[in-house]
Amino acid sequence: MRINDIEYIEVEVFDVRSSSQATEAFSMILVDKANLTHYVPIIIGLNEARAILGEMHGRLPQRPLTHALFVDLIANNIPDYNIEFVSINEFSQGIYYASIVIQTPTESFFEVDARPSDAVAIALCAGVPIYFNKVLFEEQMQVAMKTPNYQEEPHSENVPDTPHPAAAESEWEALTLPELKELLQNAIEEENYELAAKIQEEIDKRGNRQ
């Protein structure tokens, strides 16, 4: 599929996985629908993980969360406006950028800027496709040997309750595990996914050494 002269592939959420060492961070696994061994993991926060897992497994709260409220507003309360698809478009300075594409009554389209986690939650709620910039996907993708098996524990259906990303990697060894977790949470809040992934790797290494 081409959008504004950029080629996209369709992806789906394979899973949202937590780390045994850091309950503050989750990995949203997006796989190429045409090749399920090709995937891109994106680090997301706790609330976003809850929203996506809830949509994936049909465990929805009694009152709508923000993403469901957005879908209801567009799909059911604004005549002739429809959510067509969401797309993950760019990656810059550790941050992914996504869009929600909405069709108007005149069959024109406009885009709403969004975080990938919010865009994916909206896509799952609305039942619309998720597209990923093909070049970007190929730059960021990892390859599984067979079907996806990402060296992490399977997600827990019970998402845990909620319990200064400026440090250089060389300084991380001097930090305690709680300090690393706090650093990770700050990186997630600032949407610096690249830094968050590196901090997560350091936390996992320490867990493997225990």
Question: Is pLDDT at 194 greater than 80 in this prediction?
Answer: no
Residue predicted with more confidence, 171 or 144: 144
142-143 and 95-103: which strand pairing? unpaired
Mean pLDDT of 42-48: 87
Give me 52's structure tokens: 């996506």
Looking only at the bridges linking them, the beta strands covering 130-133 and 82-92 are parallel
Superfamily of segment(s) 2-209: Bifunctional nuclease domain (3.10.690.10)
Q: Could you tell me the pLDDT band of residue 58, with boundaries at 50, 70 and 90?
A: confident
Classified as helix, coil or strand, 89 is strand
What integer pLDDT is reported at residue 153 of this predicted model? 38
Cα 100 from Cα 78, distance rounded (Å) = 16
Domain positions in the chain are 2-209
- 140-149 pLDDT per residue, tens: 988 876 655 5
Whether this model's pTM surpasses 0.85: no
